[in-house]
Amino acid sequence: MRHHGLVSGWLYAATGDEVARLDETDGRWQVERTLEGSGAQCIAVDPHDADTVFAGLRDGGIRRTGDGGRTWVDCGLPAPEVFSVAVSAADGAVYAGTEPSALYRSDDRGETWRELESLLELPSRPTWSFPPRPWTSHVRWVAPSPHDASVILVGIELGGLMRSTDGGETWQDHRPGAQRDVHSLAWHPRVAGRAYEAGGGGAAWSEDGGKTWHAADEGRDRHYTWSVAVDPVDPDVWYVSASTGPYAAHRGGNPEAGIYRRAGDGWRKLDGGLPQPLPAMPYALVATEDRLVAGLANGDLYESRDQGDSWRTFDLDGGPLHRVVALSYAP
């Protein structure tokens, strides 16, 4: 496996309650907490400006910082329940997905928003339903293509994987071969057309910009997949976290979970240096050129410098995190 040199940067974690910025010095991570009590659910660093970060709140819309998390402003999103946020590497557009399912776009860094209403005109919409709250659904993930500003993937929990090729003005309904219970999506940053999905029934990947998808489950003994990350150099190396089902993954106790790597045609469980069994579900995975980071539902953080063959726990200064629900990397 490839071993990279250290790449500088920092991590942002959404904990479900606050945002934590983690800066590394000499192998230890300093934790700075902001937005305490906000219900921070998701987080996205602007690829064009590492000091600009957007946080989605469970009942407070979108907040933005332009100074690396020191201060935050309310972006005035016209919907409170935010489940997903993303910033396009192609054109800087900001996207926010909400419950009830709706998608909003900002072209001025969150100053103003417009709803991409045609998403709700898809034929499958009457079937969208989130099992714990069957009267509703939400946009669990938004993934704008880093190669083409007009292409956007959106995952509805639970409803399908939708695709737009015109910046969200119109939408294609659930894509063939993809999982309908979408949990997370990723694009390869260098290879146009390669996209990846983790869903409630398994994982899938696309080589045609999300138009069609291929199931990718052979060799993995867990099929309830949650987080997905891709090696930024090699498009054939990607990772998922997986459990036996939603009850084990989310209800505490033994999550029956693992982190898996796919390199070619099959999956391998990555457990060197990780506690067995894992104490909590890995809710977030981030892959950079020098490391793979996993954030667990109980707040534990682990990193690997060899693509998951071995792991070590984060040494945190500033107190432990009580939970990690999302991670974003600032290069």
Q: Tell me what pLDDT residue 7 has.
A: 40
Q: Tell me what pLDDT residue 210 has.
A: 98
Q: Tell me what pLDDT residue 6 has.
A: 34
Computed over every residue of the chain, the mean pLDDT equals 94
CATH class label, 10-330: mainly beta
pLDDT tens for 242-273 read 999 999 999 988 999 999 999 987 999 999 99
Amino acid in the structure at residue 71: T
Residue among 304, 314, 315, 274 at smallest CA distance from 4: 304
CB 43 within 8 A of CB 14: yes
More confident residue, 4 or 101: 101
As a whole-number percent, the residues of the chain with pLDDT over 90 amount to: 90
Q: Tell me what pLDDT residue 9 has.
A: 64
pLDDT at 223 over 80: yes
CB 180 within 8 A of CB 199: yes
When mean pLDDT is compared across 167-181, 185-199, 306-320, the lowest value belongs to 306-320
pLDDT at 1 over 80: no
| Cα–Cα distance list, 325 to 123, 151, 321 (Å) | 31, 26, 11
pLDDT tens for 5-39 read 334 568 999 999 999 999 988 888 999 999 999 99
Question: Which two three-digit tokens encode residue 125?
Answer: 């919409």
CB 46 within 8 A of CB 53: yes
Q: How far apart are CA 199 and CA 225, in angstroms?
A: 5
| pTM for the structure as a whole | 0.95
Asked if the bond preceding 158 is cis, omega within 30° of 0, the reply is: yes
Residue among 164, 141, 183, 150 at smallest CA distance from 43: 141
Q: Tell me what pLDDT residue 265 has.
A: 79
pLDDT tens for 65-109 read 999 999 999 999 999 999 999 999 999 999 999 999 999 999 999
Q: Tell me what pLDDT residue 2 has.
A: 35
pLDDT at 3 over 50: no
Q: What is the mean predicted confidence (pLDDT) over 40-46?
A: 97
